[in-house]
Amino acid sequence: AQTVTQSQPEMSVQEAETVTLSCTYDTSENNYYLFWYKQPPSRQMILVIRQEAYKQQNATENRFSVNFQKAAKSFSLKISDSQLGDTAMYFCARKDNFNKFYFGSGTKLNVKP
Amino acid sequence: EPEVTQTPSHQVTQMGQEVILRCVPISNHLYFYWYRQILGQKVEFLVSFYNNEISEKSEIFDDQFSVERPDGSNFTLKIRSTKLEDSAMYFCASRVPGQAASGANVLTFGAGSRLTVL
């Protein structure tokens, strides 16, 4: 099955601290794309970070970085120096070699002042 | 920054009524998608559309659903006879074509259309 699993329905973190959101997926493909999308309370999903499976180097975007473990089919998101504006629902997603994107069930992140 | 635009932002309808949700994808994007999200639940794939035809659809996308791109800019989702369980947020998304280009595999989402079926 082409599933994406986010095992943490909800997480909390203190402002300025670091938090890691987990994601695992299932695929038999060798090349694919992985994403983390953020959905703030306004509800529009925006791209946070992406990783191409053929690249071994973990992607980073400012305070956001990933730990991509291809053999383990794991793709976690680390948010450093958490800010109040990071409060949102975070979705892990995978694109297959064709046209389809698979989304996880989401992790609700609460950043506390 | 280019945006995917969706209208209406919120629609309330009676069960059994037809609903059309509209989307204007980014102009150079050629792949279009509809997803839905029932409140608090996961984002579910409905359908993908390329070259004026459906390229893939989920089991949710039954005969009550249809999509079309009538005029080269709008991309619409029609629900012929709405049911209570169709109440959800419907997201349109689009992307550029190609596999190798850096932006080709990134979905850009609209803000969503909230559908409430009474």
Q: In this complex, which of B50, B108, B112 lies closest to A43 when CB atoms are compared?
A: B112
* Domain total in chain A: 1
Instruction: Band the pLDDT of B114: cuts 50, 70, 90.
Output: very high
- What percentage of chain B exceeds 90 in pLDDT? 69
Q: Pairing mode, if any, of strands B113-117 and B10-13?
A: parallel
Domain spans of chain B, in order of start: 5-97+108-117
pLDDT at B101 over 60: no
End-to-end CA distance of chain A: 40
A1 has a chain B CB within 8 A of its CB: no
CA distance B57 to chain A (A): 9
d(C-alpha B50, C-alpha A69), whole Å: 32
* CB atoms near residue B10 (< 10 Å): 10
| Angle of CA points B21, B16, B73, to nearest 5° | 15
Q: Nearest 5°: CA angle at B100, between A48 and A104?
A: 40
* pLDDT tens-place string over residues A53-106: 988 899 999 999 999 999 999 999 999 999 999 999 999 999 887 778 899 999
In angstroms, the separation between the Cα of residue B61 and the nearest Cα of chain A is 15
- Identity of the residue in A45, A52, A93 whose CB atom sits nearest the CB atom of B91: A45
Task: Compute the distance between CA of residue B50 and CA of residue B96 in angstroms, rounded to an integer.
Answer: 11
What CATH number does residue A106 fall under? 2.60.40.10
Are the beta carbons of A100 and B91 separated by less than 8 Å? no
Q: Whole-angstrom Cα distance, residue A61 to residue A51?
A: 11
Q: Which of A6-10, A87-91, B36-40, B96-100 has the lowest mean pLDDT?
A: B96-100
Across chain B, what does the average pLDDT equal? 90
The pLDDT confidence band at residue B3, using thresholds 50, 70 and 90, is: confident
Minimum-distance CB partner of A99 among B41, B56, B109: B56
A 54-113 near B (Cβ less than 8 A)? 91, 93, 95, 97-106
The CATH classification number of B5-97+108-117 equals: 2.60.40.10
Interface contact A47-B55, CB threshold 8 A: no
> Under a CB-based contact definition with an 8 Å cutoff, are residues B23 and B32 in contact?
yes
The answer, yes or no, to whether the previous bond of B70 is cis (omega within 30 of 0) is no
* pLDDT (average), residues B66-81: 92
CA distances from A63 to A11, A88, B51 (A): 18, 15, 38
pLDDT of residue B103: 62
Range of the structural domain that residue A9 is part of: 4-112
Please tell me which of the candidates A47, A93, A100 has its beta carbon nearest to residue B48.
A100
Closest by CA position to B106, among listed A81, A58, A73, A34: A34
Chain B nearest-CA distance from A46, in A, is 7
To the nearest whole Å, the CA of A98 is away from the closest chain B CA by: 9
Surface of B (70-109) touching A: CB under 8 A: 89, 91, 99, 105-109
